[in-house]
Structure 1
Amino acid sequence: MQLIPQSPDVRPYLAADEVIDHGHPLVRETADALWTATGDAYSYAKAAFEFVRDTIPHSGDSGDLRVSWRASDVLRTRNGICYAKSHALAALLRAKGIPAGLCYQRLADDDGSNPAVHGLIALRLPGTAEWARLDPRGNKPGVDAQFALDTEQLAFPVRPELGEVDYPELHAVPHPAALAALKESADRPELWRNLPTAL
């Protein structure tokens, strides 16, 4: 899929803000530990992806009722939905100078009902001109997202016949609708009701 960056300049995809707070000590500490174990951008990106995918449960799978949205809080609580986990992975990548943006899909149940927007990331490794999408949602039976740069292996392949959509825009900051759902929800059941159905 060809992604459309909001800016041809990569600097927005390296920036810190209140959500992708890669200057936070916990983000820096986690990034430094992963970098020490790897030592190059490709290996680090793979390790960061697997760390977020595998050690931070998706709250829909774990049953955790807490709602996290800031990257440092996701790392602290080891909890989050797809948007939050994407914020954490983007922060870890940006902390080591790897441009990372946020991407979205519109997904639905197998009969096309209950549409909801799903969040993932894209990164651009040094020496490459293309962005590669990765989905740190977390694997489970029927979901097998992998660190694959040449051929995408995301959590959910889009099914256009059900009204599902791969949104091509690459965002430097969270989409306002996704962020509002996180910030305005006291717990996960409320978050489920607040999830945007389209962008």
Structure 2
Amino acid sequence: MQRYLTASTYIDFDTPDVLATARRLAEGATSEADVVRACFEFVRDAIRHSVDFKANPVTCKASDVLRHGTGYCYAKSHLLAALLRANGIPAGLCYQRLSVGDSGAPYCLHGLNAVYLKDVGWYRIDARGNKPGVDARFEPPVEKLAFATRTREERMLPEIWAEPLPVVVETLECYDTWDQVLANLPDVELL
């Protein structure tokens, strides 16, 4: 579990702003679930999704997402992992492969999190941000994610990563604006 509790380049909870936010969100919590819910709802509701708000800059590090108040799903998942880890709760990164349009190619990755809850085990949460047609929630043990997979080429990748996939980092660090990222969303080949 240690790798799901450590700070890193992109999950940089060792920065003063991220640590202070994590502590503030945990204040008054009476259970692990209360802390997870507070962190999840903060990232889901207070951090704007880059596409929904046509917001720049493109962020990748948790501290940058917090500072600018915006990020793609991937970056928002980095911040949520950082807030949870700062509170001593194991958190990892997960990805879904989804159709960019309504169905069929092209496909892209969607970033979300898994948190280890003592009473449940690994539980996926999606702080992408709600909007019409998207209603992600924290309701363990039932997972309420932003998107369902609908076709054979779409799927939840089963791994729980301690660090972001290189293709995600490369995309977020390569482009300067939200629309450039949108035109070049990361994907992986399924085996």
TM-score (norm 2): 0.94
Q: Deviations over 1:101-150 (max 9, x none)?
A: 0000011122313311100000002x346200000000000000000221
Cα deviation per residue 1:153-195 (whole Å; 9 max; x = unaligned)?
100011134x211100110000111111111111112212332
Aligned-partner Cα distance in 1 for 2:103–2:174:
29
**How far does the alpha carbon of each residue in 1:36-93 deviate from its partner, in whole angstroms, 9 at most, with x for none?**
1324321010010000000001011011131000001101110001000000000000
1:170 aligns with 2:147: no
On the 8 A contact 1:133/1:149 being kept in 2, the answer is no
Which residue of structure 1 aligns with residue 110 of structure 2?
A: 118
Q: 1:74 aligns with which of 40, 65, 72?
A: 65
Query: SS in structure 2 opposite 1:155?
Result: coil
Richer in strand (by share):
2
Secondary structure of 1:196's aligned partner: coil
User: 1 CA distance for matches of 2:164 and 2:11?
Assistant: 9
Unpaired runs of at least 5, structure 1: 1-9
Q: How many residues align?
A: 188
Aligned-residue identity in percent: 47
Alignment partner, residue 98 of structure 2 = 107
User: In 2, distance between residues paired with 1:57 and 1:92?
Assistant: 17
Residue among 130, 141, 145 paired with 2:121: 130
Structure (1 or 2) with the greater helix fraction: 1
Structure 1 window deviating more from structure 2 (10-19 vs 186-195): it is 186-195
Partner in structure 2 of residue 46 of structure 1: 37
Please give the alpha-carbon distance, in whole angstroms, between the structure 2 residues aligned to 1:78 and 1:41.
25
| Structure 2 residue aligned with 1:144 | 135
**Structure 1 runs (4+) greater than 6 angstroms displaced:** none
1:36 aligns with 2:66: no
Whole-angstrom CA distance in 2 between matches of 1:150 and 1:117 = 24
Q: C-alpha root-mean-square deviation of aligned residues, in Å?
A: 1.3
Question: Counterpart of 2:29 in structure 1: which amino acid?
Answer: T
Are the counterparts in 2 of residues 146 and 154 from structure 1 also a CA contact under 8 Å? Answer: yes
1:65 and 2:65 matched: no
Who is 1:3 aligned against? none
